[in-house]
Structure 1
Amino acid sequence: MPPRINIPPVTRIVLIILGLQSILSASIRYKQWSADSEIVIPYLNLIPQLSLTYPWTFLTTTFVESNIFTLSIAGFTLFNGGRYLERAWSSREFGKFLLVTSLLPNLLTFGVLIFFFTLSRNESWTLTTIAGTIPLQISFLVAFSQLVPAHTVTLFRGILSLRVPRFPLLYIGLVALLSMTPLLTSASLLLAIFGFLTSWTYLRFYKTVFPDLDSSTQPASLRGDASETFAFHEFFPGPVKPIVASISAAIFDALVAVRICTPFSSTEGYQHQQHQHRGVPGSARAEAERRRALALKALDQRLNAATAHAASRSQQASSSPAASTPAPSTTGPTVQTQPALIAQTAMTSQPGTTLLGETNYNPDHEHDKRES
C-alpha cells in the first residue's frame, strides 16, 4: 500500500482551487477558440476594463494558470512551499498570508494599468489579463528568506552557490524575460514586483509572531520581524546594499513621520532574531543534537585521558622494584563526580553511540566557534 501524502488543509484547498479553475479556464478557451480574436474570461480572470462587475476576480484570478507549463510550476510551488509554511506558521497565519499576497498585488497591478491607460489612452493596458500565481511564488521565496536567511543552495554540482535571500530578485529577472514570450502577460512583471514588496512589508511589520514561552521579557503581542537579517537591503548584492539601505531607511523614516509605520524598539530586533531561530521547524531538535554531541565528545575526551593516564601510572608502578603493589590512581573521576558522569551519560548517550576513540576534541573551541 503506497504511503499517504499528508497535505495541510489550507494547502490542500488552494491546490484544489488552482486545478479546478485552471481546467475550467482551459475548457472555455478551447470551446471559444478563434484564430481572429483573443479569448478573455472576465468573470474568472481580472481584466481592468471588463471585470469591475465581477469583484471576486481580484482574488480568484490568482489561482488561474493559462498553460500547462505555468500550471506545473504553480502546483509544485504551492505543494512544497505551502506544506512547509503552513506547518511553520499554522493554518490560520498561512491563510492570512495567502490572502494578503494574493489580493494586494492584483489591486496594485490593476491601478498601475489604469494609470498607464490614462497617460497613453491605449486600450491594450486595460485589456491586459492579470492572472497567475506569480505573487504567491515570489512571496514564498521572501518567506523562506525570513525563515532560513543563512541557508545556501548549491546548483549545478557546486558551480553556483546562492543564499536564499538572493532568489526573489532572480525570480523577478526570470519573470521579466518570460513576459516577453507568450507564456506570460505584460502584467506578470508588475505582479512579481508588487508580490515581493507586499510579502516583505507584511512579514516585516504586520505578521503576528507566536509568543516565546521561554522568554520573560518578550511582550505578549509581537508583530513583524525586526531582525537585521530580514532588512530590505539584504535581498540585494553587496555592492548596492549601502545605496538600498540608505533609500529604504529614508522611506521608513518618512512613513514613521506620518504614523503609517511604528519604529522598532532597541531590544525588539534581538528578540525577533532569537524567536526566528526557535521558530524554524527542526531548529530545537538540531540544538538538542548539538548539545548532546558536545556532551558526548567532552565525556569521551575525559574518559580517554583518564584511561591513558591510569595505564601509564600502572606501567610505571609495575616496572619499579620498590613498589610491590600499584598505587591507586587519583586522576580519574572522584566519588563526588562519578554520579554526575553516570547521569550525564544516561541522559546524553543513545544506543549504538561510541564513546571512545576520539581524543582530539576541544569543547571550548567548538563552543566558541559555534557561538561566533
Structure 2
Amino acid sequence: MHLQVVISTIALLLFGKLLESLWGSKEFLKFIIVVNFLTSICIFVTAIALYYITQQESYLYTPLSGFHGALSGFLVGIKQIIPDQELSLFFLLKIKAKWVPTIIALISVVISFFTTESVSYLPTILFGIYVSWIYLRYFQKKPETGLRGDPSDEFSFSSFFPEFLRPILDPIASLFDRALCGKSETYTEMRGHTLGGSPLPGSDPTEASRRRERGARALEQRLAAEKVAVTGSTDVISQGDAAEKV
C-alpha cells in the first residue's frame, strides 16, 4: 500500500505538472474527477455483472485501487499531447509516448496471470485508459477554439494498437463516433471537412500539431528548469566545500 502511494505521488508530480500547465488547473482537476468517477462506475457495474454470472461473492469484496484510473489517464493525455516524444520506461527503455498506455496495459494484463494482487489494480488501469480516451476524444473542451474533443487520426482508438490491427479496429471504432457524437455527419465535419462551405476552426490536423508543439515546448522548459535547479544546487555545494577548505 505504501509503495502504491509513493508511485501515485511520483506519477502525479511528473505527468500532472505537465498536463496542468497545458490544460489549466480547472480542467486538470475536472479531468481527475471525471476519470476517477467514471472508472469507479465501470468497475462497480463489472463487479455486479460478474457476480450475477458466476455467483462468486469474491467479486463484490475484492479491494480495488482508485487512483490508478487517473494515473492511466495521465498517460493517455501525454500520448495526445506529445505522441512522438521519447520517454524513459522504468528508467531503462526509451519509448515514444504514444505507446506508453498500451505497454502499461499489456504489462498489467501479463502480470495478472502470475499474481492475484494485480486484480486490485488491473481493472482500474484498463478502465482508466478507456474512460480517459473517451473524455479526451469526444468531450474535453478546447478553450482556444471552443470545440470539444480531438478528432485527429493520431488519437483514434486504433492508434493504441499495432498498425496491422487498425483495418480491423477502425470499423468498430466508428461505432463510438455514432454513439457518442450523435449524427455521424457532424463528427465527420469536425474531422477536417467543411461546415457551411468553410473549414471548421481547429478541426484540421494543424490544431493537433500545435497542441503537440505546445506540449513538447512545455516538456523542454520543465526539463531545462530542472537541469538549472540541479546545476545551481551543485554550484552551491561546490562553493560550500571550497569555503570549508579555506
Please name the residue that 2:45 is paired with: 111
CA deviation string 1:201-237 (max 9, x = no partner): 11111111121xxxxxxxx521111222111211111
Q: For 2:93 and 2:206, how far apart are their aligned partners in 1?
A: 33
| Structure-2 change in CA distance of 1:228 and 1:141 (3 Å) | same
Coordinate RMSD, CA, aligned: 2.8
The number of aligned residues is: 208
| Structure-2 change in CA distance of 1:72 and 1:257 (3 Å) | closer
Q: How does 1:162-311 map to 2 (within 5 A)?
A: 162-179=95-112, 180-181=114-115, 183-184=117-118, 186-211=119-144, 220-249=145-174, 251-255=175-179, 259=183, 262-265=186-189, 266=193, 267=199, 268-277=203-212, 279-280=214-215, 282=217
Are residues 1:136 and 2:70 paired? yes
The DSSP-based 3-state class of the residue aligned with 1:82 is helix
Give the deviation of 1:178 after TM superposition: 4.0
- Letter paired with 1:68: H
- Letter paired with 1:162: I
Q: How does 1:19-38 map to 2 (within 5 A)?
A: none
Please name the residue that 1:148 is paired with: 82
Q: For 2:89 and 2:29, how far apart are their aligned partners in 1?
A: 31
Structure having greater relative contact order (Cα 8 Å, sep ≥ 6)? 2
The DSSP-based 3-state class of the residue aligned with 2:80 is helix
Provide structure 2 residue ranges, at least 5 long, that are not aligned to the other structure. Answer: 194-198, 222-246
Provide structure 1 residue ranges, at least 5 long, that are not aligned to the other structure. Answer: 1-66, 212-219, 287-372
Percent identity for Structure 1 against Structure 2: 26
Q: For 2:181 and 2:135, how far apart are their aligned partners in 1?
A: 19
Q: Is the CA contact (8 Å cut-off) linking 2:82 and 2:213 kept in structure 1?
A: no
TM-score between both structures, scaled by the size of structure 1:
0.50
Give the deviation of 1:84 after TM superposition: 1.1
Give the deviation of 1:282 after TM superposition: 2.2
| Structure-2 change in CA distance of 1:156 and 1:116 (3 Å) | closer
Report which of the two has the higher share of helix.
2
Give the deviation of 1:239 after TM superposition: 2.0
- Letter paired with 2:204: G
Q: Is the CA contact (8 Å cut-off) linking 2:138 and 2:181 kept in structure 1?
A: no
Runs of 4+ with deviation above 6 angstroms: none
| Structure-2 change in CA distance of 1:192 and 1:155 (3 Å) | closer
Q: Is the CA contact (8 Å cut-off) linking 1:88 and 1:281 kept in structure 2?
A: no
TM-score between both structures, scaled by the size of structure 2:
0.74
| Structure-2 change in CA distance of 1:154 and 1:190 (3 Å) | closer
The DSSP-based 3-state class of the residue aligned with 1:153 is strand
The DSSP-based 3-state class of the residue aligned with 1:169 is helix
CA deviation string 1:289-335 (max 9, x = no partner): xxxxxxxxxxxxxxxxxxxxxxxxxxxxxxxxxxxxxxxxxxxxxxx
Q: For 2:62 and 2:39, how far apart are their aligned partners in 1?
A: 15
Give the deviation of 1:154 after TM superposition: 5.8
Q: For 1:165 and 1:254, how far apart are their aligned partners in 2?
A: 25
| Structure-2 change in CA distance of 1:102 and 1:164 (3 Å) | same
The DSSP-based 3-state class of the residue aligned with 2:46 is helix
| Structure-2 change in CA distance of 1:121 and 1:256 (3 Å) | closer
Larger gyration radius, structure 1 or structure 2: 1
